[in-house]
Amino acid sequence: MVCEAGVAENGDGGGGVKAEQIDAHGGAAEAEAALSAYADKDPNLGAIFTVSDAENNFGVALGFLKKQKLVGKVQLVTFNASKAVRNSIAAGETLAGIDQQGFLQGYLPALLARGYLDAGLMPGSDILTGPSVVNKGNLAAVEAGAKAGMR
């Protein structure tokens, strides 16, 4: 779990982001205690970025924001576009999820293998299957893809 405490002025007008990593090892209780301790230490918490949508990461962060009435005041971003993350984005609780494009990660290699076996075809360079950002702007398309079994 990473917490951003605000924009740090560095004198060049570009502004950097002050970020600290919070150890979320252990269960949800330990992760919540670590997040609470960080928020007590730095009341200017501006954002939380979790490295997974697991309960001891995203679940704890979202629960913390709700409990502290910080939803909308502290931005939340996580990895994955699970149903829980998509629901939270739709509810305005989470700003975004970083989607890994699991459908393409699984299906595209099969297509490439078939092309190679049939005709010796290989892509000329890397083919990215993500990451993509899921937010309110594209949530409807992501939901449609999930409903169609493509996510």
CATH number, residue 25: 3.40.50.2300
Residue 129 pLDDT > 90: no
Residue 109 falls inside a structural domain: no
pLDDT of residue 75: 93
Residue 68 falls inside a structural domain: yes
Find tokens 């699970």 and name the residue.
82
> How big is the CA angle at 150 (ends 58 and 120), to the nearest 5 degrees?
120
**Cis amide leading into 43 (omega within 30):** no
Residue 62 falls inside a structural domain: yes
> What's the domain count of the chain?
1
Residue 69 falls inside a structural domain: yes
Domain that residue 13 falls in: 2-101+130-138
Q: Is the pTM of this model over 0.85?
A: no
Percent above pLDDT 90 for the chain: 44
